[in-house]
């Protein structure tokens, strides 16, 4: 079964306090859903049309698990706290078998 990944790129952070509050709720919600944080940082080297922005990568045992985690009540609560505190590109992608 292919793993699932959350890939989140923070284009702009307009409210760091909201981001901090989101992190406090999102971390346990992701862990409870089986997610493992692989990368969370601002140390990015971009190539081609890429932009060096804060990027977060989270791994799940399956694509379906990653989709379910995003829809979970606990993660939705974290998103509500985040609100418009950031502009980000969030994707769920399937890994290769």
Domain boundaries, the chain: 4-94
C-alpha–C-alpha distance, residues 30 and 87, integer Å = 20
Residue 57 has pLDDT above 90, yes or no: yes
Q: Give the residue-averaged pLDDT of 64-84.
A: 98
Task: Give the pLDDT score at 53.
Answer: 87
59 in helix, strand or coil? strand
Helix (H), strand (E) at residue 8: strand 4-13
Q: Is the pTM higher than 0.85?
A: yes
Q: What is the CATH number of domain 4-94?
A: 3.30.70.100
């Amino acid at each position: 079964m292919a793993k699932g990944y959350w890939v989140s790129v923070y284009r702009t952070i307009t409210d760091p306090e909201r981001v901090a509050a989101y992190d406090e709720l999102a971390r346990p919600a992701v862990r409870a859903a089986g997610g493992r944080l692989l990368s969370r940082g601002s140390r990015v080297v971009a190539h081609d049309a890429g932009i060096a922005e804060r990027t977060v990568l989270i791994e799940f045992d399956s694509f379906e698990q990653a989709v379910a985690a995003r829809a979970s009540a606990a993660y939705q609560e974290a998103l509500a706290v985040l609100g418009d505190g950031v502009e980000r590109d969030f994707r769920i992608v399937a890994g290769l078998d």
